Structure 1
Amino acid sequence: MNIRFTDAVPLDPLREGQDAQARAAAILAADAIPVFEPGVTVSYRSGGRTLVVGSAENALPWADRLAAALPVTVLLLDNQETMPVRPYPVHISRTVAVAGWLGAFEARWQAPGQPLQQGRFDLVLDLAPSRLIPSHQRPHGYYAPGYDDTAREQAADELQDMVGDFEKPKYFAYKERTCAHGRNGQKGCTACIDICSAQAIHGDGDKIKVNPYLCAGCGACSTVCPTGAISYAFPPAALTGKRMQAALRSYREAGGAQPVFLLHDPDHGAALLARLGEAIPGRVIPLALQHTASTGIDVWFAAVAYGAAGIAVLMTGQEAPQYLAALDQQMEIAQAVLDGLGYTGPHFQLLRVEAPEELALALRHAPRGLVPAQPAVFHLAGDKRNTLDYALEHLHRHAPARPEQVALPPGAPFGAIEVNRSACSLCMSCVGACPAGALQDGQGAPLLRFIEKNCVQCGLCATTCPENAITLTPRLSFMESRSQPVVLNESQPFHCIRCDKPFGTLQMVENMLGRLGAHPAFSGHLDRLRMCGDCRVIDMMEPQGEMRVTTLRRG
């Protein structure tokens, strides 16, 4: 079990009965919120062409069965003295590679001494000793049931139904303008790539690229994205927010106290809760999600602002391990904020249980965190950062403690930066790298400005800085200045010694003299480094042997 325990409060039968009645009202209210229809869908087309891979003992019997309904091709991975005679193609291979999705699988294989062969298939039955597609979330149309006969039976039945046209929601939306993956060839945030269990996301230069056919809709990418560049489009966060608001409103009106949302998936989690039955504490409100990895600090902060005493997330062992690590980090950040604001907790509970008795024990210790005296009325926004602004503003306004700032653990999507003024040359590389508009130039003046509210701590500014002059400081500021440009560094402009046009700063010119003074293009012509680009070219093109009169202005 991976459980955050709090002190269990002895059950009061009267209180428990009232909370249970309030929970029933809350569930009815949440279920009454209409589900949004997907705005965009992803389509698949399968003709049933099936590739079966495995040893002759494992693959041929299942291929024989499938061949009655599907066009089958078999790749055998073991030695065969004689090629098996079948009414479908059979190949022997020592190396096999498969990639793709329903209706678009590509396979490559090679037998000893034979040229590489390849083929396209709609479906794959993988009976190899180790899976050919190792991603935790398997592509649609790919079945790897292992050695269990019941699982193989189920896979064979499902394969025969996977012929025709299919569609699913496009689960994500992507705004590359605010993506912090990279800038100017410098790598920044890789959170969505690292967490994707379907291997559907990869870097594409300074941006990311999501394969909608591989995306399984877990929403974990949106949970860890610091800027909100990738968001959960179906079901959207706004729907979850409305369900939470409706549930809590009905729960309060029915006299319930200290409500806790238990977020679970609609399959394994729901089945585990059904087995638990009436043992679920009355104040625990189950709320099914498309996937438990699809919500993070924005939704959780909103729930606390609405009046939820806690959030418990139920993981049943079916999830990718990186999801647990990400949710645990999100809970650490969220709890640090609430602790800093004086809301006694804990407010969050990450559960990994597979048996009803484990879940019953965990829910007896469900969070009883302090909440604002007045429930918030804002709705979750489509933009993650806007939701965070609404929730944090409400939580701070009603907080027992109102600090100017709260220190946060590394990895938090809030913070400031510190600039070493003696090293910073005001080259403004960091401004061009910042995806969130947190760093700004001086509009012609040699100064660097910073808006802390916009900073997502992606680190691109520090990575890009040629002087290594930038340090990240994770924190959450509640000062009024957080929304206003603050000058981090400034300098007097340096004027070209030939035309008197400002073109840089004294620090920048001194750095150039130190670094380029020995370069063949400038040795003996150091004054060129004190000139603007235009004058430098003119000086280099003028005949060197002729007498000329040039008025130089010494900086």
Structure 2
Amino acid sequence: MSDETFFTRWARLKRERPELAPVAEPNTAAEPAMPPDVEAISAPAAPAPELTDADMPSLASLGFDSDYSGFFSAKVSSELRKSALRKLFHQPEFNVIDELNDYREDFTYFEPLGNLITIDMKHQLERHARQHFDRLLEDHRMTPDTLSLAREQALATLQQYPTAVVGSIGYQSQGRLLIIGDASALPLAAQLPDTLKPQVLLTDDQAIASQFANVVIPLKGRNLSISGHLGAFAVDVGGIVITSDLILDLQTPPSVQRGILPPGYFAPKSDELADTLAQLPEMIGEFSKPRYFHYDPSICAHSSSGLHGCTRCIDACPAEAIISIGSKIEVNPNLCQGGGACAAACPSGAIRYQYPSPAQTVDQLRILLRTYHAAGGIAPKILFHRSAMPLELAQLPPTLLPFPVEELGSVSAELWLAALSFGATQVLLYDEAVTPAQSRDTLQQQLAIAQAQLQGLGYPADAIHVLPVGTPAQGISPAPVMPLLTPATQGGMNDKRQQWRVALDHLYRFAPAMPASIALPAGAPFGTLVINKDSCTLCMACATICPFKAIEGGGNKPQLRFHPNHCVQCGLCATGCPEQAISLQPLYITDPEQRRLAQVLHEEPPFCCVQCGKPFGSQSAIKTMLSRLASHPMFQNPRALRRLEMCEDCRVMDVVQDPAAMG
């Protein structure tokens, strides 16, 4: 075996076969000749100097063809290297976008979706919710049939507590019908039975048909106004008053345009005219309806001390049945048809729904949910819907408990939250096209307040959700939205604010979040006051005006105290403040104990009488009074001006001793 190693063998072959050796580049520099048989050992080349930031060209001079290799030297700072590369890749040659490149977009920035929910996101949410519901059924060993049986038992129990009618309103109609329209109303009136005693109020100047024997009154451009209700309409035609029991208005648009028309007033569309004509002969006789409302003027915030305050019920009433009568409101019971938006909008509960009462509604919700749970049901949902809207129970998910009400607008936030406190995992509101615009606006305002409170406590906002018009019943998801919590047991109350607070206090006990307070949207019936201390003189005008004693003085010291539990955010204090130093701040204090404590909004050291030293007012009030009365003719005498700085006793004694003041 040869002792030749790999390297010695490689060297030998290299000498024997020169063609295997690498070809050296020609060198123009003269080098000393090396003997062919002697292996030259070349000296190591001197290391190239390392470049630094100071050796680099300015970034402004760089272009696409510039040499960027020097920026990769080890002693070049990373910031300069990045800037150079950024300059290179911002050259036009690197910014020609290939439209066929799937990754050509800048994925470091995206437009936030905000509250937008895409179809795919909605589908994924529904899928996850359905999976959660299926796991819930499996964990509790439940089946849809078991839940349906529990629902049947709960609804059967609810039938044992019918709505109690408190008072009724009567109407009496003799059938006197007034038809308002053009000449086409004449043959229409001739077809009606004589029991309706039709009259026609023509809106055009066409000749009166001789074959129509009943009274015809031409409008001829005179002003027309309509007031009244079934059995007692008054139509003013330019000073001439026509009375009638019923009105058929064929004008486009009709004379009366309200969310809910007065009883006995019909303004049908063309496709509804036949049904209306068939209904008119039945509107003769005596009729009655429930008295839907109850009004307590002692807690009404409509006005105080001659100042106008809350008008929310007036603004919300779709029947225009509520008017202002000075310090209070008045509800026309003949026009009120149970829309309920007034009771939902009222911040104090001065006007409440009466058919049924809030207390009865809360008791029915508690009994319904308690029976459902006792029968083995889980994750119930409450569906508020108008009682006149038919619902097929078989089409609803087995966890959905329908709760009929006279009108959707008659239920509001305190009832929704009460249902959640009783263990409902979601409250759904079934909207319809017949819902008046004012009622829908009030519904959305109440929804915004309740959802803000739920979100502030860490609960999902859609735990209370309005189903859009036309939503199919079978498309409602059975999956729970709220977490399962211990149901509350409180009884129903007619005190709106107390019912609201009790329900929220129960949810607060199990809340994922417990903030000190929750900001609410404008118009919420809970909140505090913000005082501009530089303007406030502690005159106590706000305490005098407040109808709920939410503001009070500090007794023997200049102090403004505030009771958040009493404030309904009516704004009367801000309106009556002579210095305009008060602004409203809607919020909800979550801790019940903190909510009951009085807050000191503003206080000052007392101003003491310059004669006897007795404290009798605030310093800012006396200073403001002195500055405003300094130019008054009665106080040009320094002694008279000084009397303003005295207490009531010293002021009287000084007047008696002053010859100028006594004349």
TM-score, length-scaled by structure 2: 0.74
Per-residue CA deviations over 1:136-185 (Å, capped at 9, x if unaligned) read 1011111111322xx22322332222222222111111111211222223
Q: Paired residue for 2:474?
A: 360
Q: Paired residue for 2:243?
A: 120
How many Å apart are 1:126 and its aligned residue? 0.8
Query: Given residue 361 of structure 2, which amino acid in structure 1 is its aligned partner?
Result: T
Is 1:138 the counterpart of 2:261 in the alignment? Answer: yes
Within 1, Cα distance between the matches of 2:547 and 2:357?
23
Q: Paired residue for 1:26?
A: 154
How many Å apart are 1:31 and its aligned residue? 2.2
2:566 to 454, 460, 469: 454
1:462/1:251 CA distance change after superposition, 3 Å: same
Q: Paired residue for 2:369?
A: 248
Q: Paired residue for 1:468?
A: 580
Q: Paired residue for 2:230?
A: 102
1:208 to 323, 326, 329: 329
Within 2, Cα distance between the matches of 1:398 and 1:474?
24
Query: Given residue 215 of structure 2, which amino acid in structure 1 is its aligned partner?
Result: P
Is 1:507 the counterpart of 2:633 in the alignment? Answer: no
Contact persistence 1:341–1:402 (CA under 8 A): yes
1:477 to 589, 594, 602: 589
Which has a greater percent of strand? 1
Q: Paired residue for 2:167?
A: 40
Q: Any stretches of 5+ residues in structure 1 without a counterpart?
A: 111-115, 549-555
Q: Paired residue for 1:7?
A: 126
The 5-angstrom pairing of residues 207-246 of structure 1 reads: 207-246=328-367
Q: Paired residue for 2:205?
A: 79
SS of the counterpart of 1:388?
A: helix
1:121/1:534 CA distance change after superposition, 3 Å: farther
Within 2, Cα distance between the matches of 1:535 and 1:213?
61
Within 2, Cα distance between the matches of 1:367 and 1:263?
16
Larger of the two Rg values belongs to structure: 2
Within 2, Cα distance between the matches of 1:44 and 1:444?
58
1:64 to 190, 212, 215: 190
1:280 to 379, 396, 401: 396
How many Å apart are 1:307 and its aligned residue? 0.1
Q: Paired residue for 1:263?
A: 384
Within 2, Cα distance between the matches of 1:199 and 1:41?
19
How many Å apart are 1:293 and its aligned residue? 0.8
Within 1, Cα distance between the matches of 2:457 and 2:561?
28
Per-residue CA deviations over 1:353-374 (Å, capped at 9, x if unaligned) read 2363xx433x127761124x22
Query: Given residue 571 of structure 2, which amino acid in structure 1 is its aligned partner?
Result: G
Per-residue CA deviations over 1:99-129 (Å, capped at 9, x if unaligned) read 111122110114xxxxx31122221111112
2:421 to 287, 291, 305: 305
Within 2, Cα distance between the matches of 1:315 and 1:407?
27
Is 1:370 the counterpart of 2:483 in the alignment? Answer: yes
1:520/1:360 CA distance change after superposition, 3 Å: farther
1:281/1:445 CA distance change after superposition, 3 Å: same
Contact persistence 2:431–2:468 (CA under 8 A): yes
Within 2, Cα distance between the matches of 1:429 and 1:291?
41
How many Å apart are 1:427 and its aligned residue? 1.3
Contact persistence 1:310–1:366 (CA under 8 A): no
1:354/1:530 CA distance change after superposition, 3 Å: same
Within 1, Cα distance between the matches of 2:629 and 2:437?
50
1:340 to 450, 456, 478: 456
Within 1, Cα distance between the matches of 2:642 and 2:298?
41
Structure with greater contact order relative to length (CA < 8 Å, sep ≥ 6): 1
SS of the counterpart of 2:565?
A: helix
Contact persistence 2:259–2:438 (CA under 8 A): no
How many Å apart are 1:382 and its aligned residue? 1.0
Query: Given residue 360 of structure 1, which amino acid in structure 2 is its aligned partner?
Result: Q
Contact persistence 1:439–1:450 (CA under 8 A): yes
1:517/1:159 CA distance change after superposition, 3 Å: farther
Within 2, Cα distance between the matches of 1:453 and 1:300?
21
Query: Given residue 403 of structure 2, which amino acid in structure 1 is its aligned partner?
Result: L
1:204/1:376 CA distance change after superposition, 3 Å: same
Per-residue CA deviations over 1:322-355 (Å, capped at 9, x if unaligned) read 3223222222221222222233453011012236
Within 2, Cα distance between the matches of 1:45 and 1:64?
24
Query: Given residue 549 of structure 2, which amino acid in structure 1 is its aligned partner?
Result: G
Is 1:414 the counterpart of 2:523 in the alignment? Answer: no
Contact persistence 2:175–2:196 (CA under 8 A): yes
Q: Paired residue for 2:629?
A: 516
Contact persistence 1:522–1:529 (CA under 8 A): no
Within 1, Cα distance between the matches of 2:661 and 2:225?
70
1:526 to 641, 645, 650: 641
SS of the counterpart of 1:412?
A: coil
SS of the counterpart of 2:427?
A: strand
Within 2, Cα distance between the matches of 1:470 and 1:210?
31
> Mean Cα displacement is larger for which, 498-507 or 233-242?
498-507
Contact persistence 1:223–1:294 (CA under 8 A): yes
The 5-angstrom pairing of residues 389-428 of structure 1 reads: 389-428=501-540
Identity of aligned residues (%): 39
> Mean Cα displacement is larger for which, 490-499 or 442-451?
490-499
How many Å apart are 1:519 and its aligned residue? 3.0
Q: Paired residue for 1:113?
A: none
Is 1:55 the counterpart of 2:201 in the alignment? Answer: no
Per-residue CA deviations over 1:242-268 (Å, capped at 9, x if unaligned) read 22112211221232221111110012x
Contact persistence 2:426–2:464 (CA under 8 A): yes
Per-residue CA deviations over 1:471-505 (Å, capped at 9, x if unaligned) read 22222113423213222223344455578775532
SS of the counterpart of 1:205?
A: coil
Query: Given residue 172 of structure 1, which amino acid in structure 2 is its aligned partner?
Result: F
SS of the counterpart of 1:209?
A: strand
Contact persistence 1:260–1:366 (CA under 8 A): no
Q: Paired residue for 1:89?
A: 215
1:129/1:402 CA distance change after superposition, 3 Å: closer
Count of aligned pairs: 529
Q: Please report the RMSD computed on the Cα atoms of aligned residues, expressed in angstroms.
A: 2.9
Contact persistence 1:302–1:380 (CA under 8 A): no
Within 2, Cα distance between the matches of 1:469 and 1:503?
22
SS of the counterpart of 2:130?
A: coil
Contact persistence 2:163–2:355 (CA under 8 A): no
Within 1, Cα distance between the matches of 2:450 and 2:375?
29
Query: Given residue 153 of structure 1, which amino acid in structure 2 is its aligned partner?
Result: A
